[in-house]
Amino acid sequence: MPAYFVIELDVEDGPSLAEYEREVGQHVVAAGGRFLVRGNDYRPIEGGWAPKRLVIVEFPSIEAIERYYHSEPNQRLKRKRLAGTAGKPARAIAIQGLDAPAHGSPKDLGTDASGAVIWG
């Protein structure tokens, strides 16, 4: 089941961040990731959310995201990312995706502890 790594960055130094992005791409791909979104060309729809830069990467699983995030190459490159964000840490989450159903829409699998519907 796929999982998604969603990262919001507060960009301060574009050239430093561009250098980081050139290098990090190969490590993400080597870890099984695939970039889906990488930029700041968005349109607000609801609420006041206005990220300076948003990145969404698909991985095979949440465990793959955690392995990638804690890997030596990512931790080494993190210093370059921090240079491009004036030392401000990223805001990032890993979220489980849905299995692609063979036919039709995802099924309602019940609810979680908060009462939200779980789809699968």
pLDDT in tens, 30-85: 999 999 999 889 999 999 999 988 999 999 999 999 999 999 999 988 888 887 78
Task: Scan for tokens 């401000």, then name that residue.
Answer: 88
pLDDT reported for residue 60: 97
pLDDT reported for residue 117: 73
Rounded to whole angstroms, how far apart are CA atoms 99 and 39? 26
Rounded to whole angstroms, how far apart are CA atoms 4 and 41? 19
DSSP element (H, E) containing 28: helix 14-30
Backbone angles phi, psi at 93, to 5 degrees: -135, 155
pLDDT at 118 > cutoff 90: no
Task: Scan for tokens 């791909």, then name that residue.
Answer: 29
pLDDT reported for residue 65: 97
pLDDT reported for residue 103: 62
pTM for the whole structure? 0.80
pLDDT at 120 > cutoff 70: no
